[in-house]
A and B are shown apart, each in its own frame.
Chain A
Amino acid sequence: MSAAAQTTPAANDAMISIRDLRVSYGSREILHGISFDIRRDETMVILGGSGSGKSTLLRTLVGLEKASSGEIWIRGKNMASATAADKEELRKRLGMSFQGGALFGSMTVGENVALPLREHTQLDDDTIRIMVRLKLDQVGLSGFENYKPSQLSGGMKKRAAVARAIAMDPEILFFDEPSAGLDPVIAAGIDNLIVKLKRAFRMTIVVVTHEMASAFIIADRMVLVDKGHIVALGTPQELQTSTHPRVRQFMDRIAEPEVHKEMDYLQMLTDGNED
């Protein structure tokens, strides 16, 4: 565990290798040169508080944000130098489930789930129909195939988005806060599904979450991101027993100490105002 792991060369079993990754929004750097590997067939949970950079990390891994420097290697290919054909091939092997779901409102739930299968495969309509129903059943949405997303609750939309993300049984599956906003029973069902998907389909799964109970159920390893740096990387047990102050604060849910001095706070609130 710890920062030493950040400089370990890519292991043979690495599905994703991240090397000295930096990401900025304008002049503000969000990720400050982070490095770690995600192994084939493991579930890696990326932990961190709000604004820690964990979601930026995930978005950069799937190509939704551009790195300002550093390297991302996926399945042995450097994403910076990958050809359009490489990226297209990779897209077929990735599944992504992001907050908000991003379902197409004009399509039914079933059509949404079928979309990647219709775009990327030559499967027969009957096969696709069965696959869609299998996936909807796996996320607890049997019978909702012909509903429009607007007819679903927030939690159901999220599960429909998970069904679409797993439609192709992807080799690598990315989840952003899969259980946020779901009731505890449904959230436990999603955790259970993640564990089973990894086992049954040999998936490498990357999950961003701040739900500790969920993280401990699904993770093979965890990485704690704080202020754009990795502060810990290890198994759930290693993080659980870590004495690193920031890890302890996160594990034990200790509130951030008050950092504002009164006059600084006043200055911050009134900065730019006329005297």
Chain B
Amino acid sequence: MQISTRQSGTSTIVDVVGDIDLYNSPEIRKVLLENIRDKRVPRIIINLKEVRYIDSSGVASLVEGLKVSRNMSSRFILFGLSPAAREVLELSRLIKVFEVYENEDQALAAT
């Protein structure tokens, strides 16, 4: 799995490539918390377009990111969910808890 961040206006976009599992989800958690808690970015967008599989630890890391962003009054957005990733969020009853968009343009345009 690879993670990189880039800036688009006031949004920080986190691009994730590869499967997210028990062994690499701490990396995502670290990047999310660093940006939200330490750098206090106003809006973080997670690009999951290149993620075919996400396990429960990955979901838990996203939940932590969402919770911290709410505490910091920042915006936490997901886009590009694969059918399997969507299925995992649905199984966890989280699909409606997260702000989810189909693609990057929609995520950036979200008001």
Residues of A bordering B, CB below 8 Å: 117, 120-124, 126-128, 130-131, 134-135, 137-138, 167-169, 196-197, 199-202
Contacts and interface: CB of A to CB of B under 8 A. Distances in A.
Interface residues of B, number: 22
A199 B89 CA distance: 12
A196 B87 contact: yes
Contacts of A121: 22-23, 57
A197 B61 CA distance: 19
Contacts of A122: 26
Given A131-B60, A200-B91, 14 more contacts: A121-B23, A127-B25, A127-B26, A127-B57, A131-B57, A134-B56, A134-B60, A138-B92, A168-B22, A169-B55, A169-B56, A169-B57, A201-B55, A202-B53
Determine the main DSSP class of B at the interface with A. helix
Contacts, number: 59
Contacts of A134: 56, 59-60, 92
7 contacts: A120-B22, A121-B57, A123-B25, A135-B56, A169-B56, A199-B84, A202-B53
Nearest to A122: B26
B17 interface: no
A138 B94 CA distance: 12
A124 B92 contact: no
A138 B93 CA distance: 9
A204 to B, nearest CB: 14
A127 B88 contact: no
Nearest to B87: A200
Nearest to A120: B22
A205 to B, nearest CB: 14
Contacts of B88: 200-201
B51 interface: no
Contact of B87 (A120, A124, A199): A199
